[in-house]
Chain A
Amino acid sequence: MDLPLKFINHRIEEYALQVTYQPEEDAGDVIYNLSLVRREDLEDAIATLKHAYAAGLCVSDRVRFMNPGEETGGFIIPEGCAGICTLCSITIDAILIRRGVPLNPLGGGVVEIEGNIPTRFTTLIRYEHTTIDPLQVLISQEVTSVSGVMLHGSGTILANIRECHMEAERLIGDVLDELAGAGFTGILDVGVPNTPLLGVPPAPEYLGVALVGGTNAIAAFREAGKWAESRALKGLMNIRDMVSIEDY
């Protein structure tokens, strides 16, 4: 008989246990998302990634591009396609957990941005209620306008939220600062204890931390009418196998 389906909150914790990345040394394994684009569109995709990174809509500056036939996590990039590995925000959850922050992943959804300021979640799917990554289903609902945010600071993007215990507030601040220093620009907003963050209330004594989703650049690319597929597959990759998008 099949094993019972795994819900995303548990899957995130399992991924998080495998991350070995140390921001201070900029070394170790991180979690990535794999997306596919047409090979002839790769130049455009790189331009979109750069633009999205500059607008603060990527988890970090690190990427890896893969050619047809190359294999990652048991998946072979199909003929005619290019694979794009971008950093998944679970990497940040993992680092917080490893530093001892009590953390519960809450959910993924769509956040409205007005004048470069995140205002609220307009869509949310809670991790403990789903076996499929919310952002993977939401990217194809035509509910984002990531390009709007890139071009004039207003629109909607993919994002996720977790809650951390307020006892760890200082530690969270330290870790996030460290991460920002290592090229992790995807921190969207950090709340105050016992107060809803972007419309999502945390548990008592907890505070919310919202991060941008790892596939916003791909969402922007799709909004431009290009074909792109965000694979459900996530995997583990050494950060040294990735390069900065700014090098392109």
Chain B
Amino acid sequence: MSFTRSERKWLEILRILSETTEPMGAKRLSELMAERGFVLSDRAVQYYLSELDDMGFTWKVGNKGRLLTPSGIAEIECALVEERIGFVISKLERLAFRSTFDPRTGTGDVAYNLSVVADEDVEGVSAAFDEVIERGMGFFSRYGIIDQDPRIPPAHTGLITVCSITMDGVIQKAGVPVNMAYGGRLAVRDGRAEAFADLIGYRGTTVDPLQLFISAGLTSVGSTVATGTGVVLANVRQVPASAQARVEEVIALMRDRGFVFPVTMDTQVFNLRDDPYRLSIVAYSGMNLIANAIEKGFTFRTEIGGGTISYAKLLQ
């Protein structure tokens, strides 16, 4: 359908606009579209923009450019379902690539999830985060707080938890190809991880798997930290089995820097189908911190893979 072809372009325009807070003009949009493989003249971009205005997805801010409307923001989450299946993973892969953290020197950037919490809840949510960290069921031993960010509305605070995709970035930069395979629910008994209760592959969904498990109430992080038994979130990524030594070296360095993983690592882990050529690395998700707070009844929004931040800043 030729319709789909043009839909693909205007969806990309919406995505570019969603990543900026300032109005953007046709010229800049045309440059950014070209970077993404859509070569369009300024005039063609103008044409798409007026179409998007008509559909109510964008609005013109004087002659400064366009901003998204609320229905434009919503449309990004609805259009072209098949393509968005690939988008969950490619967004994470982009972040992995941008995670420049070097575990040898402790410098560079790590990827984070951004939770936007109402000021009056910050204390309670932080306490929930702390519980998980104390039990070693997060991905990193700390979390950060930011308040000056355009994404954070007044009377709210941003809590930054390290996203495990940071690990993929580090492994990649050590020259090992890594594939983020699954988000899962991992059953823990008496403090020991036993088996996966469910898995959802990152390449088969338009919604982040861990977000799905949290909002479906399918975690019991709270009882796991309290009693040692329950169901928590974990990720599975896979690397070539022959890269084991190199990966182990990276992991040891990262552990010295406060990262908490892996739960286990093998060609046959828990109740995953075994694959003699792929090494599965299981790590508790940083989202366990968020799940614990949500289970306690706090409501707030979390953007998985909100961006990257310098490791040094996180330690402050």
Contact = CB atoms under 8 A, between A and B. Distances in A.
Interface of A: 1-5, 107, 109, 112, 120-132, 136-138, 140-142, 195-196, 198-201
Contact of B77 (A122, A130, A131, A132): A122
A131 B187 CA distance: 15
A125 B82 contact: no
A120 B216 contact: no
Given A140-B215, A140-B217, A141-B215, A130 B81 contact: no
Contact of B81 (A1, A2, A121, A132): A121
B243 interface: no
A148 to B, nearest CB: 15
A120 B79 CA distance: 8
A132 B206 CA distance: 15
Given A136-B216, A199-B80, A129 B198 contact: no
Given A2-B270, A5-B271, A140-B216, A199 B81 contact: yes
Nearest to A156: B78
Nearest to A134: B205
Interface string B191-214: 000011011111111110000110
B1 interface: yes
B198 A132 contact: yes
Contact of B204 (A2, A5, A126): A126
A126 B199 contact: no
B1 A5 contact: no
Nearest to B74: A122
A195 B216 CA distance: 33
B216 A137 contact: yes
24 contacts: A1-B271, A2-B270, A3-B271, A4-B272, A122-B206, A123-B81, A125-B205, A125-B207, A126-B85, A128-B204, A129-B200, A129-B204, A130-B201, A131-B199, A132-B200, A132-B218, A140-B215, A140-B216, A141-B212, A141-B215, A195-B1, A196-B82, A198-B81, A201-B82
Contacts of A195: 1
B15 to A, nearest CB: 16
A21 to B, nearest CB: 29
Contacts of A128: 201, 204
A196 B3 CA distance: 12
Contact of A120 (B78, B198, B202, B207): B78
A196 B1 contact: yes
A198 B81 CA distance: 9
A2 B194 CA distance: 9
A141 B216 contact: yes
A120 to B, nearest CB: 7
Contacts of A127: 204
Nearest to A122: B78
Contacts of A5: 196, 198-199, 271-273
A137 B4 contact: no
Given A2-B195, A5-B199, A141-B212, A130 B204 contact: yes
Q: Shortest 10 CB-CB distances between A and B: which pairs?
A: A129-B204, A129-B201, A126-B204, A2-B271, A122-B78, A121-B81, A132-B198, A137-B216, A140-B216, A4-B273
Contacts of A138: 207, 212
A200 B271 CA distance: 31
B81 A125 contact: no
A104 to B, nearest CB: 14
Nearest to B207: A123
Contacts of B218: 132, 137
Nearest to A112: B78
Interface string B204-235: 11110000110111100000000000000000
A132 B1 CA distance: 33
B82 A122 contact: no
Given A129-B204, A129-B205, 10 more contacts: A1-B271, A2-B270, A5-B196, A120-B79, A124-B82, A131-B196, A132-B218, A141-B212, A141-B216, A196-B1
Nearest to A140: B216
A132 B216 CA distance: 11
A128 to B, nearest CB: 7
B272 A141 contact: no
Nearest to A133: B198
Interface in B57-106: 77-82, 85
A122 B217 CA distance: 22
